[in-house]
Amino acid sequence: MDRPLFRGNFKPYVSPRDPCPPILVKKFVLPPQIFTNFQPPGLPQNSPAEALKQGSLWPAFVDGYYREEGIS
């Protein structure tokens, strides 16, 4: 369920005078729904059981989120 497709990253400015060890690459979420204004018909569907578990009938809009991703 890890969807690198729906993640972004950028390199923030790092100062030599930063007090803490700098994070060189910052990650953030670009969730699937922002890439469409209107859901196209006929998208592949999850099984009912999987849909109830994931929270969406369509895998296309599931991007998951795990603390292990280290987004923040």
Partner 1 sequence: MWVYEKKLLYPVEVSTCNPTLAKYLMEQYGGADGELAAALRYMNQRYTVPDKVIGLLTDISTEEFSHLEMLATMIYKLTKDATPEQLEEAGLGAHFVNHGHSLFYANAAGVPFTATYIQSKGDPIADLYEDIAAEEKARATYQWLIDVSDDPAINDSLRFLRERENIHSLRFREAVELLKDERDRKKIF
- Using CB under 8 A, pick the residue from 31, 43, 45, 50 that binds partner 1: 31
What would the x/- binding string for partner 1 be over residues 38 to 57, using CB under 8 A?
xx------------xxxxx-
Q: Backbone phi, then psi, for 67, in 5-degree steps? A: -60, -25
- CB atoms under 10 Å from CB of 44, counted, come to 8
Residue from 37, 40, 42, 49 in contact with partner 1 (CB under 8 A): 37
Q: How far apart are the C-alpha atoms of 25 and 62, rounded to whole Å?
A: 24
Complex with partner 1: residue 13 or 38, whichever CB lies closer: 38
